[in-house]
Structure 1
Amino acid sequence: MVPDASLNARRTKQLPPYRAVFAVDTKDFSNSPSAHQEQLSQDIPKLLQRALEQCGLSRLWDTSVFGTSTGDGYYFGVDATDAPFLVDPFLTELNDVLEEHDEKVRAIDRNLRLRLRASIHLGPIPDSGLSTAMNETHRLLDSAPVRKVLDQSDPDVTWLAAILSQRVFTDVIQGDYVKQRASRFAAKAVKVKNFEDVGYLYTPTASVNPQLLDGVEEAEPVDAKQLQEDQQRAAEQAQQPAVTVNYNNVHNSFSGSSGGSVLQIGQARDINGFNGQS
């Protein structure tokens, strides 16, 4: 009996457009006095918008696909082709804006601070924002490595700590689409609930060496050939064409090896989903 091709067509769906997601969360937001939490929450999107304006990227805010407050943070999505701009110059400009804003915050309350964690990720994301890639963005944001950067940094020096996903690091940093060199990023293992991956830490004004963070695992290098064979085998088992990646010229700045090693990417799994809380 010949299979009905129309049945397969009905089961197949198009991928949503590839988008870049930028998310931020406030350090110790719940410990801020209740009287000031609403103002801090309202300040966050204004500061993001201001930073984009000051580095000539207002169009990213004006044309963002989605933008939502999480109470103690905010996230917005743009076309994936604009992902490099979220890394540079936006991160540096946002750090400067936060430092400038600190004077206003401290004038309200000497113990009040607004320091942010940020995560950047890429993936197929619909206009609603609901997707696995969005879940992963917030898992990165909530991960121990980026939290540790702010915890162990000088609060009068480091206002922003960012973590990039493996995909952003590969496409944007290793792809040489920004001036920032790979040596400025520290690869760390990320484990949040059922999500495991490798994240890349970047701090515009660092006051702690991210390679020496207490209680944070280094990313493990793996054999590039073996990784490629595993990807090929998984694709064949799924009866889907494999995507071949050339690792011949990859250089691992963090392990000190080159020519045959890449960082362990692992599989990003998150069966719980993002619930808007951090």
Structure 2
Amino acid sequence: MTTPQDPGYTGVSELPPYRSLLVVDMKDYSGAPGRHHAHLNAVIPEILQRAFARCGLETLWNETTFSDSTGDGYAIGLPSKRLPFLLNPYLGALQEELAERSRTLVAAGFSAIRMRVSVTVGPVSDSGANGVSDGAGDARVELHRLLDSEPVRDLLNRSGEVTRVAAIVSARAFEDAVAAGYTDEDPRLYVPAPVRVKRYQGQAYLRVPLPSGDLLASGFGRKPSDSDEKAESKATLSAAVTPTVQADDHSRNRRGGIGNITGTVNSLVTDPRGPVNTGSGHQYVSDRPDTHEPR
């Protein structure tokens, strides 16, 4: 019997451990004064830890197998079995923690904090020592592509200040934790959204613990902007009125001309000496009123 140590298995390797992954990003971090950045960098993981404690899951913070600051955000890895808790009750607890912490920050001269959150699950490197290369893999790439995607950014842009958290969940995490019933939530609380960021393309699910503003009026789906509607209208109009033109030399009179035009044309300017032929009959425009024949 062959074993993974046999030469025939060269190039094949075991999967790294599956981990539940969460990353957050502070909205408008770059808009804060530079002198505030160091404080915000330190307070973000503190907020995440306090949110675990708020919902009675403080021990989960101690189970993180790796963590990583992104400056304006923070990423953590947990055992895969902890995935459901990152969605329920953690997202709601993070909303509450940010609301309370923002009041304190504003009183101290800082800006209120709102966050985008991304959650997924998959195999990533994990040495157990929180090394610099821990958390690497396709699942980690997906985690950050989802966080940077337009659908989740749009949620915060269209919501009021009361909405502190907008989350996006990978299809795998949704199917494993939500659709399978482990989060004890109605799956209809999650809104499907296609995602395309750089070379990443996939389906994801949006979740907002406390919707407000236009999210209540119009839902989670992005409303077409004026520029989108104008571009679409222009493309439709262009397709409708663009004629097919074939040039005709008209060498007999050594004049340029237009042989055939198909499509809808709003106006046509031609040589007054004609001829212009439309339809199945003949219509000639000429500078000689006594004849329908061209010169």
Identity of aligned residues (%): 37
RMSD: 1.5
1:29 alignment counterpart: 29
Mapped to 1, the partners of 2:94 and 2:181 lie a distance apart of 22
Shift of 1:10: 2.5
Query: Could you tell me the TM-score, scaled by structure 2's length?
Result: 0.69
2:115 alignment counterpart: 116
1:213 alignment counterpart: 222
Shift of 1:215: 4.6
The number of equivalent residue pairs is 210
Mapped to 2, the partners of 1:212 and 1:162 lie a distance apart of 14
Deviation by residue 1:48-97 (Cα, 9 ceiling, x = unmatched):
00111121212221121101111000000001111000000111001000
Mapped to 1, the partners of 2:14 and 2:121 lie a distance apart of 17
**Matching residue's letter, 1:193:** K
Mapped to 1, the partners of 2:8 and 2:114 lie a distance apart of 50
The answer to whether the 8 Å contact 1:44/1:73 transfers is yes
1:193 alignment counterpart: 198
Mapped to 1, the partners of 2:194 and 2:116 lie a distance apart of 17
Mapped to 2, the partners of 1:215 and 1:64 lie a distance apart of 40
Mapped to 2, the partners of 1:140 and 1:29 lie a distance apart of 18
Mapped to 1, the partners of 2:8 and 2:185 lie a distance apart of 45
2:155 alignment counterpart: 149
The answer to whether the 8 Å contact 2:55/2:89 transfers is yes
**Matching residue's letter, 1:119:** S
The answer to whether the 8 Å contact 2:19/2:124 transfers is yes
1:136 alignment counterpart: 142
Moved more, 101-110 or 71-80: 101-110
Matching of residues 217-228 of structure 1 within 5 Å: none
SS at match of 2:67: strand
Mapped to 2, the partners of 1:211 and 1:70 lie a distance apart of 27
Moved more, 28-37 or 196-205: 28-37
- Out of 169, 173, 188, the residue aligned to residue 168 of structure 1 is 173
1:219 alignment counterpart: none
Query: Higher relative contact order at CA 8 Å, sep ≥6: structure 1 or structure 2?
Result: 1
The answer to whether the 8 Å contact 1:40/1:114 transfers is no
Structure 2 gap segments, 5+ residues each: 127-133, 226-295
Mapped to 2, the partners of 1:71 and 1:130 lie a distance apart of 18
**Matching residue's letter, 1:47:** I
The answer to whether the 8 Å contact 2:63/2:79 transfers is no
Mapped to 2, the partners of 1:61 and 1:180 lie a distance apart of 23
The answer to whether the 8 Å contact 1:148/1:213 transfers is yes
**Matching residue's letter, 1:41:** N
Mapped to 2, the partners of 1:11 and 1:196 lie a distance apart of 28
After TM superposition, the runs of 4+ consecutive aligned structure 1 residues lying more than 4 A away are none
Deviation by residue 1:201-254 (Cα, 9 ceiling, x = unmatched):
0000011144332259xxxxxxxxxxxxxxxxxxxxxxxxxxxxxxxxxxxxxx
The answer to whether the 8 Å contact 2:154/2:222 transfers is yes
Mapped to 2, the partners of 1:8 and 1:162 lie a distance apart of 45
Query: Could you tell me the TM-score, scaled by structure 1's length?
Result: 0.73
